Structure 1
Amino acid sequence: MVGRGELTDKAWERIAPLLPDNAGGRRWRDHRQVINAILWKLRTGAPWRDLPERYGPWKTAHERLRRWTMDGTWQKILDEAIVKDDAVGEVEWIISVDSSVIRAHQHAAGARKKGGAHIRSKALVVDGECLGRSRGGLSSKIHLAVDARGLPMNVILTGGQAGDNPQLIPLLDGLNVRRDGPGRPRSRPQAVVADKAYSHPSTRQAMRERRVRFISPEKTDQIARRRAKGAAGGRPPVFDREVYRGRNVVERCFARLKQFRGLATRYAKRAAYYAAEVTIAAIILWLR
């Protein structure tokens, strides 16, 4: 019987073929049991040492998380989930973007400055250990791009003090969904929807150059400067209120991700491991 928060049979059938085989040595503990252990840790936010006995040794689960973070297995599974949905036309390419500050627990501090883990991933960008000081104290920030259904397409992790607008182009650059068959990967959305934090003339120019429809309200100071120039200020940018109403899907996605208590507060010292945990939660959202 499947326990609460564990992999369903349908989800397991999709990801089992994507998991690495044992390259040699002793026989690996059952992959499904280990993934369920990692999901329990994410769902509860408890320390590894409190892992229930039914999931096996906590060190095994932690080592599998580390190993598959380093070789990009988690990102491979997420990419495959997106590709399969896009192949049947379920991915809706109106992309909404936003960010959320994640308070870091005191256990997240103190990582060694040298020898940090690197994550092989096109979607999760790890810059140092991604810890910074914001109004809430020591924190990280998740920058998220979702499709029109609110499913995660790309994520970037930064320190909590980082601005939103500088991460928009890197978020879009990470949208590279290969075809389930011949053809080049798809990377250009139909439209990008963002709040005022992303409204800047340079951003709008970049979107025009990419031939991407950009829907974001102007800031008050930008409106004032444009009007002060008179006719030289040009026309106001086109703003589609109807499409902008759908931007709340990214807020709803953050709410679903933060149901995993291990994500709502950052406990991991290494940014690579926290980024991998975000990827695992995203996989679960895609497989539901």
Structure 2
Amino acid sequence: MKLINRLFAPVAGLVLLLTPLLAFAQTATLKIASPQRGSWEGAIPELGQQAGIFRKHGLELEILYTAGGGETLQTVVSGAVDVGLSAGTLSVMGAFQKGAPLRIIGASSSGSPEVFWIAKADSPIKSVADAAGRTMSYSTSGASSHIAVMRFIEQFKVAAKPTATGSASATLTAVMTGQVDMGWAVAPFGLKEIADGKVRIIAYAKDIEAVRKQTSRVQIVNTDVLTRKRDLIDRYAKAYDETLDWMYSNEDALKRYLAFSGFDEAAVRETLKNFIPKWSLQTQSVNGIDEAMEDAVKYKYLTKPLTKEELGVLIQTQPFNK
């Protein structure tokens, strides 16, 4: 018996060692809605998949690119995708209060340092204070850029005209062709045009104090998806964070992003240096919840603030609330 034990002990140890690998031998697929194809934040699933990080966690991603957070929210509510990135926090809270089957599994962006508004270089508009009667764009209804426009109008007490213009690339075209007076942008979109003197920045989202303190965009899943695929969502969250660490520490990530996005290298390096610090993309903490709910009530996304119990159900950040 001792001889048998000695013979089989190494085999048993090998089985234990390989068990996690065997569990991921069959990769599972998750459908992801990511906004603004080409943006640094929206490229996290794409770059992580290219680098093999999600596959290491037993996942294959099918990535759908949307025009903004409002569209992302709709795809998750309908069950068309499993995970939605960068959905506007206020919109998510409002949809949840109305009974939408949603859960927040992580933050996407906090402080919004990368979001700004541009006007043509020859425009008479110098700041939001000059925006009376002018169009000021956002991506889609309910997106974080939409909330920021409404905050600008309130803060500067100026009768600008909120206008949906879709993706950042479409908005840049709308600004250049005079279809909109002030277009929203997210770095590195627009930075080359700024450097070339074609457009200029007239406002930053971080100019609004409330924005600086809040998580403006979150990652969401359909409640049914979280119930049926909790293990996959757990793996996804780990792979996402691992990808984020890699993107801020490895030049290969920058090379892959340049090839994927087509952006000028100087604009991307400026983006990482001055617009998107790693802390702004942290996933663990949804910040400024009380202030966000105040805004949500003010802008009629919520009829009343969510209770502590409701927030405990809605926000399922890692490690998942039980």
Report the TM-score, using the length of structure 1 for normalisation.
0.27
Higher Rg of the two aligned structures: 2
